[in-house]
Amino acid sequence: MEIRHLVTFKTIVEKGGYTKAADFMGYAQSTITSHIQSIEQELGQPLFNRLGKKIKLTEVGEHLLPYAKKMIELEKLATQITAPEQEPKGNIVIGASESLTIYRLPPILKTFRQKYRHVKIMLKTGSCYELRNELRNGNIDLAFIVDQEKQEVDLEAEILVEEPMVFLFPANISLGKEHKFSQEDTFLYTERGCSYRQYFEEILKKEGIVGDDTLEFWSVEAIKQCVMSGLGVSMLPLMTVKKELISGKITGQITPPSEKPFVTQMLYHKDKWKSPALQKFLDTVRSEASGWSRVMEEFIETV
């Protein structure tokens, strides 16, 4: 049973069909079909039931899937084995939220690339929910998220720094000690699935604000630009708006302390073997993140 055939099988399941898998992998659909037929011939059983245009795993397909994922992962790890004295090599697939990709990861990536030129890094973005699932499915090696701390049965979470949240207002708004939102405000939200969007909605609900006038954005940068233009108000991690607060382009107010503060976390699967390349990356992250708390505390004192 060839690894490439198992990769095709796994991709069909994840993408939801032969055509989508072919498009994603850059194969002709006949190639996809041939790969699956090869596995089915070896097992003597079909892997999929075809119900009209939809496909569903057979019982044999359901049993094969976790083994296929493990075999693909083992093959990937085998290619990354190096002698202790050799420089790490291989691939690392990292998932991160947009805000961390922009504001936390670049210095880490720069430091790591300067030391380990033979390691290829691939980045994926997603919500907290999506990235956790990607880790569980073995599609990424490491995830960086901003969320409240949660206990995970299968995922290891390292807290790197507490991330204060800040209410954002146009620069012409004069804030008192405690600014209250208004029912007439336009509320600018991140997309659903973002943990601090839910937190923002809960705060508004406690203040008795329904928030009928809302706009939803997939981009933190788009929200900042809209606040600066006077379109509405929002809430984002402080790290994303430091420059705008310093320059006076946005007015901000640190949110009240929460029982469960938001933190930047580094997540990886508890049962997954860490390649030398991944271990070096984890060490780099820990080193780079060691000074984040001090920098953030010093900045808050000036806000």
Alpha helices by DSSP H, listed for the chain, are 3-15, 18-25, 29-43, 59-78, 98-103, 105-115, 128-136, 195-206, 220-228, 242-247, 276-289, 292-302
Report phi then psi at 123, rounded to 5.
Answer: -110, 140
Each residue's pLDDT, cut to its tens digit, for the chain (303 residues) gives 899 999 999 999 999 889 999 999 999 989 999 999 999 999 998 999 887 778 889 999 999 999 898 888 888 777 766 555 567 888 899 999 989 999 999 999 999 999 999 999 999 998 888 999 999 888 899 999 999 988 888 999 999 999 999 999 998 876 655 567 888 888 998 887 778 888 888 888 888 887 677 888 888 999 999 999 999 999 999 999 999 999 999 998 888 877 789 999 999 998 888 888 999 999 999 999 998 988 888 887 776
Residue type, 30: S
Structure-token match 């006038």, residue found: 213
Rounded Cα distance between 256 and 253, Å, is 9
Distance, in Å, from the CA atom of 218 to the CA atom of 179, rounded to the nearest integer, reads 26
Rounded to whole angstroms, how far apart are CA atoms 281 and 269? Answer: 15
Task: Give the torsion sign (CA, 145, 147, 148, 154).
Answer: negative
Tokens at 21, concatenated: 């898998």
Instruction: Give every CB contact of residue 223 below 8 A, 6+ residues apart in sequence.
Output: 168, 188, 190, 217, 234, 236
Place of tokens 């070896």: 42
Closest CA to 165 of 206, 202, 211, 216: 202
Q: What is the rounded CA–CA span in Å between residue 115 and residue 171?
A: 42
DSSP letter, residue 188: E
- Domains of the chain, CATH where assigned: 3-78 (1.10.10.10), 90-162+262-302 (3.40.190.10), 165-254 (3.40.190.10)
Cα–Cα distance for residue pair 62/272, rounded to 1 Å: 21
| CB 116, CB 88: distance < 8 Å | yes
What tens digit of pLDDT does each residue of 180-194 get?
Answer: 788 888 899 888 777
pTM of the model: 0.72
